[in-house]
Amino acid sequence: MIEIIAGMMRSVFDTVCIAADRVETFRFLGLPVFPDIYPLCGPLGGIHAALSRCRSDRVFVSACDTPLIPPALIHHLLERHKNRAATIALHGGSVHPLCGVYEKSALPRIEEFLQASNLKVLNLLPVIGAAYVNITPDLPFYRADLFENGNDPESFQRIARNHRT
Q: Is the pLDDT of residue 165 over 50?
A: no
Nearest CA-CA partner of 131 in 88, 83, 78, 73: 88
Distance CA 56, CA 59 (A): 7
CATH number (domain holding residue 61):
3.90.550.10
Q: How far is CA 108 from the centre of its chain?
A: 19
Distance CA 145, CA 34 (A): 29
> pLDDT digit string (tens) for 94-123?
999 999 999 999 999 999 999 999 999 999
Task: Give yes or no for a contact between 34 and 18, defined as CB atoms under 8 angstroms apart.
Answer: yes
Task: Give yes or no for a contact between 76 and 59, defined as CB atoms under 8 angstroms apart.
Answer: no
> pLDDT digit string (tens) for 51-91?
999 999 999 999 988 989 999 999 999 999 998 999 999 99
Per the structure, the count of domains in the chain is 1
SS3 104: helix
What domain range includes position 102? 2-162
